[in-house]
């Protein structure tokens, strides 16, 4: 089922497909009203609800929902870090587990927009669009995405309306007149921060790539397990450039806003927009490189096209450590 046809069929409750709905709300009270109505409606239909919201909103919901705790599960996403590339697999794991157990499901997902860098915010907007691709043809489920119009930037609200086929407003669930299923309009990358270093590499040059990254990282205090994780990630990207990007590529490294950025560019074209955002199966052959990169880096940005080649930026934050712990649901 295509994303567009899934939208049409999901307007009827219980229809197959993924129902992706934006909920623009005005402040905390309106959030609580809409979220509670959504949850109680789900519980009345014997559906399980996974709630991924900020800690303060979680506490508000917990204080209001005390009689049926087994039907509401809270997802701790802090272990995922700030990389939106890790979010889709977390939802897919939970949806799959519930479907196998025969449980119909809903979700509430409030994106954490405040405090994000411009790059993180851009990737989170893209993640909202990718959800329609990731769950096309999935078991039927309904995801409500709250957006607080009193705090969220207008540009983020516009992007949200573009990415959600449905909208909840004034108590009505209706198709969004702003939704677009066309190719996502990525913001172009900015120029590297000066000074940056550049290295062209080909087959047999992986050790040189690792040495270049180690030298740049060491000069800015990145060491230990964080450096080892980055070394694995850059090796995966370089290998992909060699295998799929015309035999080699170009590596650029620089530091910007306390972030070490390693940029790979090659002549290849990455056709699958969900590459690296699906958990590999146990018996899967290949296709694990970008998945691993997403788990090891604080942020991964990919820009690709059939004529301009592929550019991948790996972000490693220099001012804190990372966590590879799996997120877990909480009742």
pLDDT for 320 equals: 65
- C-alpha span between 188 and 96 (Å, rounded): 35
Q: Which two tokens stand for residue 156?
A: 């983020």
Strand-strand pairing, 48-52 and 72-76: parallel
Residues in the chain: 331
- pLDDT tens profile 1-40: 333 333 344 344 334 589 999 999 999 999 999 999 999 9
Tokens representing 222 are: 């990145």
Question: Could you tell me the residue ranges of all domains in the chain?
Answer: 3-185, 197-317
| CA-CA-CA-CA torsion sign (293, 295, 298, 299) | positive
Supply the pLDDT for residue 170.
Answer: 87
Given CA atoms 285, 286, 287, 288 in this order, what sign does their dihedral have?
Answer: positive
pLDDT at 86 over 50: yes
Strands 48-52 and 105-109 come out as parallel
Q: In this structure, what are the phi and psi dihedrals at residue 307, rounded to the nearest 5 degrees?
A: -115, -30
Does residue 69 register a pLDDT over 70? no
Which residue from 305, 306, 281 is spatially nearest to 291, judged by alpha carbons? Answer: 281
Closest by CA position to 20, among listed 4, 33, 43, 31: 4
Question: Per residue in 282-299, pLDDT tens?
Answer: 887 777 899 999 999 999
Percent of the chain, pLDDT > 70?
A: 89
Domain covering 3-185 assigned CATH 3.40.50 in the classification: yes
Task: Give the pLDDT score at 79.
Answer: 60
Tokens linked to 317: 């934050």
Give the span between the Cα atoms of 220 and 316, in whole angstroms.
11
Between CA 220 and CA 240 the distance in angstroms is 27
Q: Over pLDDT 90: what percentage of the chain? A: 69
Interval 203-258: pLDDT, tens: 999 999 999 999 999 999 999 999 999 999 999 999 999 999 999 999 999 999 99
On the question of pLDDT at 302 being above 60, the answer is yes
The pTM assigned to this predicted structure is 0.88
**CATH hierarchy code of domain 197-317:** 3.30.565.10
pLDDT band at 323 (very low <50, low <70, confident <90, very high): very low
CA–CA–CA angle 20, 178, 125 (5° rounding): 60
Span 265-289, mean pLDDT?
A: 89
Between the two ends of the chain, the Cα-to-Cα distance in Å is: 33
Which residues are paired to 318 by β-bridges?
Answer: none
* ∠ CA 269-273-277, rounded to 5°: 120
Angle at 275 between CA 270 and CA 281, to 5 degrees: 140
Please determine, for residue 265, whether its predicted confidence score (pLDDT) is greater than 90. yes
- The CA distances from residue 21 to 130, 144, 216, 277, in Å, are 14, 5, 44, 21
């Amino acid at each position: 089922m295509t994303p567009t046809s899934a939208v049409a069929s999901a307007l009827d409750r219980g229809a197959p497909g993924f129902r992706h709905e934006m909920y623009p709300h005005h402040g905390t009270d309106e959030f609580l009203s809409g979220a509670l109505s959504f949850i109680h409606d789900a519980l009345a239909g014997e559906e399980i609800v996974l709630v991924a919201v900020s800690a303060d909103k979680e506490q508000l919901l917990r204080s209001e929902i005390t009689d049926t705790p087994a039907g509401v599960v809270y997802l701790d996403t802090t272990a995922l870090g700030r990389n939106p590339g890790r979010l889709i697999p977390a939802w897919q794991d939970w949806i799959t587990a519930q479907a196998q157990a025969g449980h119909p499901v809903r979700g509430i997902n409030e994106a954490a927009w405040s405090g994000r860098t411009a790059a993180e915010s851009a990737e989170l907007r893209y993640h909202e669009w990718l959800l329609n691709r990731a769950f096309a043809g999935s078991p039927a489920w309904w995801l409500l995405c709250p957006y607080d119009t009193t705090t969220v930037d207008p540009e983020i609200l516009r992007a949200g309306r573009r990415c959600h086929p449905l909208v909840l407003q004034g108590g009505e669930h209706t198709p969004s007149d702003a939704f677009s299923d066309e190719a996502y309009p990525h913001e172009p990358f900015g120029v590297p921060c000066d000074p940056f270093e550049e290295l062209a590499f080909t087959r047999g040059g992986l050790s040189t790539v690792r040495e270049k990254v180690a030298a740049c990282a060491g000069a800015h205090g990145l060491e230990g397990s964080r450096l080892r994780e980055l070394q694995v990630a850059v090796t995966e990207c370089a290998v992909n450039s060699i295998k799929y990007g015309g035999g080699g590529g170009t590596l650029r490294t620089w530091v910007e806003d306390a972030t070490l950025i390693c940029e790979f560019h090659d002549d290849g074209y990455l056709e699958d927009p969900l590459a690296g955002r699906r958990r590999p199966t146990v018996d899967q052959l290949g296709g694990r490189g970008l998945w691993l990169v997403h788990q090891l880096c604080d942020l991964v940005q990919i820009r690709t096209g059939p004529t301009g080649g592929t550019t991948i930026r790996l972000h490693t934050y220099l001012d804190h450590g990372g966590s590879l712990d799996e997120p877990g649901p909480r009742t």
